[in-house]
Amino acid sequence: MSENLNLGAEATREDTVNTNYLRTHGETKEPPVTNQELLQKYRVEIGFMTEGCLIHVGCKQFAFSSIKEAMKALNKYVKNPAVYHKQWDK
């Protein structure tokens, strides 16, 4: 279905890496992972409870006392997943 919606057809400058630059400057590191790739890497599930909800990201589980609070946190994660993955990988 995502093919029909043409999702991901346009990438922002922050989401792309100039591989020619890496090659010409002798950098052999892997290019940075984009936000889109991080979001695709881990499954996200939301479980609604009587009060609040649980959000699972990969093997991590987060409990929230309100749905509003959970959605704020989820939106922050979606905007910049790299920040959270750095914290979790410590």
The residues spanned by each domain of the chain are: 33-90
What is the pLDDT at residue 27? 56
> What's this model's pTM, rounded to 2 decimal places?
0.62
- Alpha-carbon distance of 64 to 75, in angstroms, equals 14
> What is the average per-residue pLDDT within 35-48?
93
- The chain-wide mean pLDDT, for the chain, equals 77
Tell me: the pLDDT tens digits for 2-12?
333 334 434 44
Tokens 């910049």 found at = 80
- Residue 4, Cα to own-chain centre: how many angstroms? 22
Q: Are strands 60-64 and 53-57 parallel, antiparallel or unpaired?
A: antiparallel
> What is the average per-residue pLDDT within 17-26?
52
DSSP at 52: S
> What is the average per-residue pLDDT within 64-82?
95
